[in-house]
Structure 1
Amino acid sequence: MAGMAMGTSAGFYSQGSGTSRLPAAEGPMRGYMTQAGEWMLMAHGYAWGVVTDQGGPRGKSEAFVQSMAMLMADRDLGDRFHIQLRAMNSLEPLMGARGYTNLFATGELANDRPLVDRQHPHDLFMELAAKVDYRLGNGNTLFLYGGPVGEPALGPSAFMHRGSARYQPMSPITHHWFDSTHITYGVVTAGYATPAFQLEASAFKGREPDEHRWGIETPRLDSWSVRGTWTPSPFWAVQVSHGRLKEPEAQHPGEDENRSTASVQYARGGLATTFAYSLKDRVPGEKLSAFLAEATYELSPRHAVFGRVENVANDELFPDHDDPLHDRKFRVTKAEVGYAYRLPIVGPLGLALGGTIAAYAKPAALDAAYGKTPVSWTLFSKLAVGL
């Protein structure tokens, strides 16, 4: 089987990362599914081989491998209760603490220095969590989700679980506006769900993972978030969320963050889209907003085209305190388009081969550091269970 659509008794939504929802028409999570006694098991995962040339004086050429493996186990516990167990892991710590080159990406530390124009690797443990649903009848449920590693109710589904980003080889440069809480060391979420609505609240650890990616950090519940999601039909998923994060960034000690997000996702006939907005309000500090629009269109079982446009206000591009541009806020736009050729191998195992090209718009004050018109390109092969 291609996968499963969780909690879709009315067919209005599919399960995203954490407790988030995606449009049902995007299709169920792709992977390998089998029965083991009373347990339904699903495996999903991928390994990307990527070669990129990031343009301009700050860019560089680099080859790297991204990876993720996910196991899910579901079963009923009597007539009313349903339990789901999840484990998600990555071997990206093998990249080293500095991760991979990604022009205009910022966030987190490596070797005690801020990462700039680079994307940090994911942790070995991306999720170790469980979700229990209590059926109220007519497709309505109460649920409790949590674990030592998980994702709170904040923002849309993380980028690696969105159909609109299925063939994007690079993380968004807006990652720390929308997705930075998708690996959280300590989270508890409680919610009420119907086929068309979901209301939920989380307590979680606000600090982003540190640069030591192989272990599990001490869980803590020092931050909170609330989220409402509306899935009026199988084609739409709309969410708004707000959270208060306790000192999320190590390079901004003493600064908490109010984060607000809104997103609309639409899927139909091989098309999957995401449109999203986020505002980071540092307390004390700057207010930094970000916009994201991305889409994937699977033209046929073999061919897919995709793209992403991001616009973000970033004040972390010059971390050196002696630099005259230190702590200045710059608004940057990145536009990237790509193509993927999909090749089935056996069963749910498949390969996607493709490439992208990206261009940027930025203030003239950044020309000396980034060049006037930097252009980046990327080639990739994605081996996946459930491509």
Structure 2
Amino acid sequence: MKIVLSGAALAVAVAAPASAQEMSMPPMPGMEMPAPAHHDMAAMDGMMGDGRSAAASGTSRLPAEDKMQGLHIMAGDWMLMAHGYAWGAVTDQGGPRGANKAYVQSMAMVEAGRPIGPGVDLTLRTMLSLDPLMGERGYPNLFATGETAHGVPLVDRQHPHDLFMELSARIDVAAGPGKLFVYGGLPGEPALGPSAFMHRGSARFLAEAPITHHWFDSTHITFGVVTAGYATKLWQIEASAFNGREPGENRWNIETGALDSWSVRATVTPSAHWAGQVSYGYLRHPEKAHPGENEGRLTASVSYAGSGLDVTAGFSRKDRLPGRALTAWFGEATYVLAGPHAIFGRIENVDNDELFETDPASPLHDRAFGVTKVTGGYSYTLPLGNALSVALGGQVSVYSKPKALEAAYGDAPVSGTLFAKLMLGR
């Protein structure tokens, strides 16, 4: 079950028994945690990965070396995993259309798995977020678009995520060299795109959502999805039926709708260090701001993890049906240096025709502009006992854009963000 950590979830996690184990960054000298018994570790490996892939959002796969930071706990036949953070940030987005804000992002995820028969495993996942507390308009994020607040399209803002990010169940059945699986969620995540950005090790300390979010992984909160597939250590193929509509403005509720959209995805994991995926989805009426428009979305991405380095890169083509085709690409990386130090960055480019969505009278309305955003930053992680850690850091972003955007965005806007990220595990 995936959960975005609330204060209560953090309190439960802090009280976890001594058998809890870190899932991600190597422990700092003198801070090693005791490992669980051998049979417990074997159960964990069986439920959370296969030696080549690691748990990620929905049914997506990441390299086994890109392990989600958090705690593992054995409770009888159940293997529990808890993951989460509370991320305080202060941002100053530059230029005339920029804004300032102090805000908190949060996520708590709990996953529970156990065998329920010979060769049959059950996994339950819940993920929650208190992001709705930051307000309907989310936080400033220059050149980001997608979804609405008070009926108005969000431009240069990142929308808050819903309280219920995932409530799902999955059954795996051994079949030949691999497993057949069925996954369902309300909400859940269809087989489309790479793992959501908040679960990628390459984005571990990047404090802002990608401006390419609605090209790659915006379906990570889908109110109604069923996925079936087959997975081996080397590859996975899957298909989903899901509700193509993006979440509504009420971020506290659970929505329902017809499973009117579909997607297919193929993933390959040639080693514990590499994972790649190609996917295509047909989304019916995904965006409230574009009524009557459907979308065909093609994505491809590759991830690498090893020796303290996590990297993800991807390309996407979004076809409005009817309408134009818009492309996007990104590359992001986090490198953990000696001890608590880490450097990170992201470069992304997007063709966006929604930058003047709220001004139909503008001559730039409904025009597509290619924008590039480059972000770099540094973080320092401090352990807080055996269950928590806090990362202190900051990042700076610069942009490349057409001259036609200078009147609205300024000549050379620069954005800066400082953050403190309280994390479960260390």
Name the TM-score, length of structure 1 as normaliser: 0.98
1:56-102 deviation per Cα after TM superposition (whole angstroms, max 9, x unaligned): 00001111000011111110012211000001000011111100000
1:192-219 deviation per Cα after TM superposition (whole angstroms, max 9, x unaligned): 0000000000000101001110000114
Q: Which has the higher strand share?
A: 1
The corresponding residue for 1:12 is 52
Residues 58, 369 of structure 1: 8 Å contact kept? yes
The corresponding residue for 1:124 is 163
| Count of residue pairs brought into register by the alignment | 385
Residues 148, 219 of structure 1: 8 Å contact kept? no
1:239 to 263, 277, 283: 277
CA distance in 1, matches of 2:190, 2:374: 29
1:162 to 188, 200, 213: 200
| Pairs within 5 Å for 1:198-237 | 198-237=236-275
CA distance in 2, matches of 1:251, 1:180: 15
The corresponding residue for 2:374 is 335
Deviant stretches of 4+, over 3 Å: 3-10
CA distance in 2, matches of 1:49, 1:179: 23
Return the letter of the residue paired with 2:134: M
CA distance in 2, matches of 1:216, 1:323: 37
1:12-48 deviation per Cα after TM superposition (whole angstroms, max 9, x unaligned): 111210000001122x322122122211111111000
1:195 has 2:233 as partner: yes
Gaps of 5+ in 1: none
1:147, distance to aligned residue in structure 2 (A): 1.8
1:287 has 2:325 as partner: yes
1:2 has 2:49 as partner: no
SS at match of 1:301: coil
SS at match of 1:232: strand
| Pairs within 5 Å for 1:51-62 | 51-62=90-101
1:22 has 2:42 as partner: no
SS at match of 2:104: strand
1:37 has 2:57 as partner: no
CA distance in 2, matches of 1:360, 1:374: 7
1:173 has 2:211 as partner: yes
SS at match of 2:271: coil
* Residues 301 and 318 (structure 1), Cα distance of their counterparts in 2 relative to 1, 3 Å cut: same
Residues 279, 290 of structure 1: 8 Å contact kept? yes
Return the letter of the residue paired with 1:278: S
SS at match of 2:265: strand
SS at match of 2:186: strand
CA distance in 1, matches of 2:413, 2:402: 13
The corresponding residue for 1:273 is 311
Residues 47, 79 of structure 2: 8 Å contact kept? no
CA distance in 1, matches of 2:216, 2:389: 29
Return the letter of the residue paired with 1:144: V
Name the TM-score, length of structure 2 as normaliser: 0.89
CA distance in 1, matches of 2:208, 2:346: 11
| Pairs within 5 Å for 1:235-384 | 235-319=273-357, 320-384=359-423
2:114 to 50, 71, 75: 75
The corresponding residue for 2:31 is none
The range that moved more, 37-46 or 266-275, is 37-46
The corresponding residue for 1:104 is 143
* Residues 7 and 137 (structure 1), Cα distance of their counterparts in 2 relative to 1, 3 Å cut: farther
Gaps of 5+ in 2: 1-20, 24-43
Return the letter of the residue paired with 2:101: E
CA distance in 1, matches of 2:296, 2:330: 19
CA distance in 1, matches of 2:340, 2:257: 43
CA distance in 2, matches of 1:49, 1:9: 31
